[in-house]
């Protein structure tokens, strides 16, 4: 069986026995989801890339603590969440240094449609950034990574009920914020 | 409620994904190698200290350093207790005898 056809658990077993190509395959599969998870948690593409790289370093170093009965993506996103929280704490401790990696406002280049889409994206990003970390994690995993409440609960190590309540509160806050920032066209949100 | 959820979901989709940097894998491998090299250096240092301790000259020197440190620490730790003892003796004498009260007066003057 080719590397790209093998399940995650088999790749993990191969990495544990020293196969570097298996780790490359794991990175190829998950780098985009992890970078985008970090991007939506931190609001900065540069920070997201750094944090995602750190996540894969943690994966490689802590692979012996991974239990095969857990889904690999659940374990990976739990590590990614911890790395994002570490970065958020670092920003709180180093406010001046972290100004450079604060959420970016892009230059208004491209067609009117592209600019409009980008501006809406930035407003959504700003609204999500205002959410408390636990609500943001639940929302990002559920809306952008298609996870069920049970999967989000496994990543966040809490009950499904508490994920549901975090999602409800996050969506309520987002509706309020986005109605204000996007204007009348979005009153029916 | 569900219709509103769909609208919100459609809006959230407009926050587009980003692409990882081109040298992503290479950077991860570089960090893994750097961390492994640092770990080897740390282990090397611990091993070196361990080997030195097993040589008689170094182990005697280390024992002497430890003895001196323990002595200094003991001296510092017991010094305030001696002062308390002297004070207690003076108070005991002053309570009972004339010479004791002279001794206490002397001690107060010398302060």
| pTM given for the model | 0.74
- Where among A73, A104, A135 does a domain terminate? A104
Average pLDDT over residues A130-134: 97
The share of chain A scoring above pLDDT 90, in percent, equals 76
What's the pLDDT band for A115 if we cut at 50, 70, 90? confident
Q: Is B7 on the interface with A (CB under 8 A)?
A: yes
Kindly report which listed range (A154-158, A159-163, B62-66, B82-86) carries the lowest average pLDDT score: B82-86
Asked whether residue A7 falls in the same domain as residue A87, the answer is: yes
Parent domain of A43: 1-104
Whole-number Å distance between alpha carbons of A101 and A7? 36
- The pLDDT of residue A106 is above 80: no
Distance CA A110, CA A87 (A): 32
Taking the C-alpha atoms of residue B100 and residue B76, their distance in angstroms, rounded to an integer, is 29
| Banded pLDDT at B41 (limits 50, 70, 90) | confident
Domain edge (last residue) among A104, A139, A165: A104
- Measured between CA atoms, the residue of chain A closest to residue B5 is A189
Q: What pLDDT is stored for residue B10 in this prediction?
A: 92
Longest dimension (CA), chain A: 59
Q: What angle is formed at CA A52 by the lines to CA A10 and CA A104, rounded to 5 degrees?
A: 150
State how far the Cα of A84 lies from the Cα of A89, in Å rounded to an integer.
9
Report, as an integer, the average pLDDT of A122-145. Answer: 96
Q: What's A188's DSSP letter?
A: T
Q: How far is CA A11 from CA A72, A115, B24, in A?
A: 10, 42, 19
In this complex, which of A56, A117, A174 lies closest to B14 when CB atoms are compared?
A117
Residues A152 and A94 in one domain: no
What is the pLDDT, as a whole number, of residue B96?
A: 65
Give the residue from A81, A104, A127 where a domain finishes.
A104
């Amino acid at each position: 069986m080719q590397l790209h056809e093998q399940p995650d658990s088999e790749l993990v077993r191969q990495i544990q026995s020293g196969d570097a190509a298996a780790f490359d395959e794991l990175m190829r599969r998950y780098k985009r989801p992890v970078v985008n998870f970090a991007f939506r948690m931190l609001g900065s593409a540069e920070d997201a890339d750094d944090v995602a790289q750190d996540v894969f370093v943690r994966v490689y170093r802590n692979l012996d603590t991974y239990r095969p009965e857990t889904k690999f993506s659940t374990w990976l996103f739990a590590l990614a969440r911890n790395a994002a929280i570490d970065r958020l704490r670092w920003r709180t401790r180093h406010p001046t240094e972290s100004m450079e990696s604060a959420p970016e406002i892009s230059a208004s280049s491209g067609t009117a449609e592209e600019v409009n889409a980008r501006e809406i994206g930035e407003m959504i990003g700003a609204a999500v950034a205002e959410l408390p970390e636990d609500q943001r994690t639940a929302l990002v995993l559920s809306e952008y990574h298609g996870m069920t409440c049970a999967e989000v609960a496994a990543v966040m190590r809490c009950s499904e009920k508490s994920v549901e309540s975090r999602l409800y509160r996050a969506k309520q806050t987002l509706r309020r914020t986005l109605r204000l920032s996007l204007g009348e066209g979005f009153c029916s949100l | 409620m569900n219709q509103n959820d769909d609208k919100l979901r459609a809006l959230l989709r407009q926050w587009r994904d980003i692409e990882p940097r081109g040298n992503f894998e290479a950077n991860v491998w570089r960090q893994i190698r750097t961390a492994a090299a640092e770990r080897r250096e740390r282990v090397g240092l611990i091993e070196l200290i361990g080997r030195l301790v097993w040589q008689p000259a170094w182990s005697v020197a280390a024992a002497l350093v430890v003895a001196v440190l323990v002595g200094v620490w003991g001296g510092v730790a017991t010094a305030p207790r001696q002062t308390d003892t002297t004070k207690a003796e003076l108070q005991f004498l002053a309570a009972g005898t004339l010479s004791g009260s002279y001794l206490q007066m002397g001690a107060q003057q010398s302060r």
